[in-house]
Amino acid sequence: MLAYAIRRTGPSADATDIVADVFTTAWRRLDQVPAAPADRLWLYGVAQRVVAGRRRSAHRLRSLTSRLRAEQAVATPQQAGGRDPARDHLIAALDQLSPAEREALQLVLWEQLSHAEAAQVLGCSANAVAIRVHRAKARLRDLLATGPDQPARPHQHTTLNGR
């Protein structure tokens, strides 16, 4: 669970807080935790919801901070020291994926879950996970093919009838 949290938030105190929240939830709902091996997938599902909640909270905090800065007209200088442009470009590209595609991709690639296991975590079918992962990879490929300052090429989805 800690590795899952670190891959979602980076090595910070947030990762350990996420793990604590996951196991607190598991303790409170001990009667709902399925037997092994499904317990691991249940914990991933809880972790996913905890991370999503923290992202929503962080987004609200960023929005509030931006509004306050705009109201106070305080200019903050950008600090470029110690940044990795390639990593920043990858993170920006991941942030442009839909939340469903990003989470499916991360569960399959980072957590090395099978499509069936990821489907259990996400509450959808294995086929839906496969489609999300495929679309996420294609979109990520397009986003990474452009430079960090260039707009991404729109990704074309085609179906069997060509529409």
Per-residue pLDDT reduced to its tens digit, 78-102: 445 557 788 888 888 888 999 999 9
State the pLDDT at residue 74: 39
Sorting pLDDT into bands at 50, 70 and 90, what band is 154? low
Quote the radius of gyration of the chain (alpha carbons, Å): 19
State the pLDDT at residue 82: 59
- Alpha carbon 119 to its chain's center: 15
State the pLDDT at residue 153: 52
63 against 51, higher pLDDT: 51
Contacts of 56 (CB under 8 A, 6+ apart): none
| Mean pLDDT score of the chain | 81
Task: Measure the CA–CA gap between 147 and 71, rounded to whole angstroms.
Answer: 33
Task: Measure the CA–CA gap between 104 and 136, rounded to whole angstroms.
Answer: 8
